[in-house]
Amino acid sequence: MVTDPSTAFIHLDDVTKSYRLGESTIQAADHLTLSIDEGSATAIVGRSGSGKSTLLHLIGGIDRPDSGTITVDGQNLGALTRNKLADYRSSIGFVFQQFHLLPALSALDNVLVPLVARRVDFDRHDAARQLLEAVGLHGREHAMPSQLSGGQQQRVAIARAMIHRPTLLIADEPTGNLDTTTATGVLDLLFQLQQDHGTTLVIATHDTTVAAQADDVIHIDSGHIDEQKNADARTP
């Protein structure tokens, strides 16, 4: 668990983000201060509308805060130019509730999408095949998304999120569209990949069982932190 913000991989200091909705203002991030360790798995839990996605969007550089600072891997996101922020965003692996696979591309080609126009020092096809095998889809490389179940499509999406070897993986309700058994398999896979690759995982979920697998759990309500605690459930 993080004790020193100066050594944290992700640090938010007094971050706010509000949205105007007609006459009213919604405080989606309400003076958030938190730290996340490199290589850890952090669950963001809270009821619908509590601000989980907002927090992930701020960490992922998809949204900019109204005030406060966000530092990731030593970079102050607020100080980055538009191009540098785009580079930062593309360095992250994102997994969403909707799988967002390209329907005209095979599983293998979907996994390769993040590497289009990117120079890499590894064999991209080998890497994609290995990842599809790691997510349990060996033999389904050439299947089209429409030929895969929801759980299998999410596995492809996870492989796609990992293909560029991100140091940070952000997952927003990744099991929201899956039945309980399939969801458990997908979560186990995310945590396994996180451990195997030393990736920092930040996962937002309604699913309280996720908390038991995470290193840290941040409870949010109405945009502010109710509690940040070490789940202390993982065997060393």
Ligand X SMILES: Nc1ncnc2c1ncn2[C@@H]1O[C@H](COP(=O)(O)OP(=O)(O)OP(=O)(O)O)[C@@H](O)[C@H]1O
Q: How far apart are CA 193 and CA 67, in angstroms?
A: 34
Contact 170, 88 (CB under 8 A): no
Amino acid at 69: T
For residues 2 and 35, give the distance between their C-alpha atoms in angstroms, rounded to a whole number: 6
Interacting positions 109-148 with ligand X (CB under 6 A): none
Q: Does 12 bind ligand X (CB under 6 A)?
A: no
- Residue from 2, 28, 108, 161 in contact with ligand X (CB under 6 A): 28
Residue 86: enclosing H or E segment and its boundaries?
helix 82-91
21 binds ligand X (CB under 6 A): yes
Beta carbon nearer to ligand X, 54 or 106: 54
Does residue 205 interact with ligand X by CB under 6 A? Answer: no
Measured from the CB of residue 132, what is the shortest distance to ligand X in angstroms? 28
Piece of 41-49, 102-110, 179-187, 224-232 that binds ligand X (CB under 6 A): 41-49
24 binds ligand X (CB under 6 A): no
CB of 207 to ligand X, least distance (A): 11
Pick from 1, 26, 62, 105 the residue near ligand X by CB under 6 A. 26
When asked if residue 53 is in the footprint of ligand X (CB under 6 A), the reply is yes
* Stretch of residues binding ligand X (CB under 6 A), selected from 33-41, 43-51, 66-74, 139-147: 43-51
Q: Sheet of 41-45: strands edge to edge?
A: 93-95, 168-172, 200-205, 41-45, 216-221, 224-230
Tell me the DSSP string of 114-177.
GGTT---SS-HHHHHHHHHHHTT-TT-TT--GGGS-HHHHHHHHHHHHHTT--SEEEEESTTTT
Is residue 66 a contact point for ligand X (CB under 6 A)?
no
Q: Which of 49, 79, 87, 149 binds ligand X (CB under 6 A)?
A: 49
174 is a site residue for ligand X (CB under 6 A): no
> How far is C-alpha 206 from the chain's CA centre?
14
* Residues that bind ligand X in the complex, under the rule CB under 6 A: 19, 21, 26, 28, 46, 48-54
